């Protein structure tokens, strides 16, 4: 692989704890939960009534015209808005660069579920002729990435990887590969999701995957805690502007961190349950370390996938121990920001990489809140309840998806 170095120069975040990077980060440092009663629709007939919604945000102004912004699924609208934030944060002048050398890989684990729901209802209650002619291009999981390229005139590599909750990390990692191989100089990469909908809530709820702590939503997402009872669904978007180092330096870009490693593997075990011994995720972590040419002891912080499910948190703990050996328990700091944001599904990795990069920048580890009675099988330093100051030179972020998809990204302080 080419030795071209790849750096992060811009970030865009929409989340249940903040609609921009600064608010998101302040909320994480304060241990503030973004989980509440779902307001998008009446949940009284459902088992679960809580979620992490993106509140008080209109994505339409982020489009070139209001017409364009109103003709997209919510997930794609969030994707475009977070991408524009990342572009603006990077300071890049799109009129001064070659648009054929800038690509987009912003995916979605589920895609346009709202569009599908609405038009299926129209089909059943009205007539086939009343179904929107835009239903297919609005609901497919690649269209967010396509619309981003159209909105900003980006003509470089454009595709998405769809791997459920590993989607963002896979898109960021594959964009890293594209730049390293010289096929682009810059990429917008990450994910977006908007699945807090009747179909999403009933589907995950009937799997018994969701927390039913409806009366205390802020305490519902509790990774690594003995009392965890399922994940809390969130929505949002996390997009990184990543660039080849010399390209970034030529334009005087501010560099957040260097993207140095990426690992992928499969559990080959079950539709939704992780491999119980943690072997699958451990291979992804070790591959990322190998790509980054760093030892386990060089990593100070790991942003865990840890969704607050019974099997998943234990399996990831085992995976971390396999990948990091004795260091897992005697130095590595691990936390799950999903305790505050909920699980953003295909957008999780993009948002959590932003948290990892900011941990490097500010020397602050975001906490795992609601960790009141730590599961003895999750026996790592999970930074319970309060942020912690610590110098971070290298950080890792894990994302694992239904189907046994594992994806890990590794970032380092730029020097």
Tokens of 287: 């591959």
Contact (Cβ atoms closer than 8 angstroms) between residue 85 and residue 20 = yes
- In three-state secondary structure terms, 323 is helix
Distance (Å, whole) CA 263 – CA 193: 23
Coil, strand or helix: which one is 116?
helix
Helix, strand, coil % in the chain, rounded to nearest 5: 40, 20, 40
Contact 190, 172 (CB under 8 A): yes
For the chain, the distance separating the N- and C-terminal CA atoms, rounded to the nearest angstrom, is 21
293: alpha, beta or left? (left if phi > 0; alpha if psi -120 to 50): left
Instruction: Compute the distance between CA of residue 386 and CA of residue 378 in angstroms, rounded to an integer.
Output: 18
35 CB contacts (<8 Å, ≥6 apart)? Answer: 16, 50, 51, 52, 217, 218, 220, 221, 232, 234, 340, 342
- Give the catalytic positions in this structure: 165, 305, 343
Instruction: Determine the distance from the C-alpha atom of residue 299 to the mean position of all C-alpha atoms in its chain, rounded to a whole number.
Output: 20
∠ CA 308-85-111 to the nearest 5 degrees?
50
Nearest to 167 by CA among 402, 412, 332: 402
Would you say 384 and 396 are in contact if contact means Cβ atoms under 8 Å apart? no
The neighbouring-strand residues paired with 237 are: 14, 192
For residue 198, the 8-state DSSP code is H
Which 3 state secondary structure label does DSSP give 105? Answer: strand
Please tell me whether residue 102 adopts helix, strand or coil conformation: strand
How do beta strands 394-401 and 301-303 pair? parallel
């Amino acid at each position: 692989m080419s030795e071209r170095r790849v750096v992060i120069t811009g970030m865009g975040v929409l989340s249940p704890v903040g609609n921009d990077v600064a608010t998101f980060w302040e909320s994480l440092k304060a241990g503030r939960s973004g989980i509440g009663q779902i307001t998008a629709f009446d949940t009284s007939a459902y088992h679960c009534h809580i979620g992490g919604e993106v509140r008080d945000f209109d994505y339409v102004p982020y489009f070139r015209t209001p017409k364009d912004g109103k003709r997209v699924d919510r997930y794609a609208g969030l994707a475009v808005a977070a991408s524009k934030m990342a572009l603006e944060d990077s300071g890049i002048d799109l009129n001064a660069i070659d648009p054929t050398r800038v690509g987009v890989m912003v995916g979605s684990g589920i895609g346009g579920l709202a569009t599908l729901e609405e038009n299926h209802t129209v089909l059943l209650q009205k007539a086939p002729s009343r179904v929107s002619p835009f239903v297919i291009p609005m609901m497919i999981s690649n269209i967010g990435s396509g619309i981003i390229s159209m909105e900003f005139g980006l003509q470089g590599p454009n595709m998405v990887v769809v791997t459920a909750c590993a989607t963002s990390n896979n898109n960021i990692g594959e964009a890293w590969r594209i730049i390293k191989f010289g096929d682009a100089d810059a990429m917008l990469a990450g994910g977006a999701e908007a699945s807090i909908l009747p179909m999403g809530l009933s589907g995950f709820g009937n799997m018994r995957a969701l927390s039913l702590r409806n009366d205390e939503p802020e305490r519902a997402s509790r990774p690594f805690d003995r009392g965890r009872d399922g994940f809390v669904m969130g929505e949002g978007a996390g997009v990184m502007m990543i660039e080849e180092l010399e390209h970034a330096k030529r334009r005087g870009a501010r560099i957040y961190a260097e993207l140095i490693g990426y690992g992928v593997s499969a559990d080959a075990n079950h539709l939704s349950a992780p491999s119980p011994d943690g072997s699958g995720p451990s291979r992804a972590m070790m591959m990322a370390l190998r790509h980054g040419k760093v030892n386990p002891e060089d990593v100070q912080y790991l942003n865990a996938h840890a969704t607050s499910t019974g099997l998943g948190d234990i399996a990831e703990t085992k995976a971390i121990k396999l990948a990091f050996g004795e260091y897992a328990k005697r130095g590595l700091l691990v936390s799950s920001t999903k305790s505050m944001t909920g699980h953003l599904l295909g957008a999780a990795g993009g948002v959590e990489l932003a948290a990892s990069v900011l941990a490097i920048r500010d020397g602050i580890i975001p906490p795992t809140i609601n960790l009141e009675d730590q599961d003895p099988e999750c026996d790592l330093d999970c930074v319970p309840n309060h942020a912690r100051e610590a110098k971070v030179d290298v950080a890792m972020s894990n994302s694992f998806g239904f189907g046994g998809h594992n994806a890990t990204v590794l970032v380092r302080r730029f020097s």
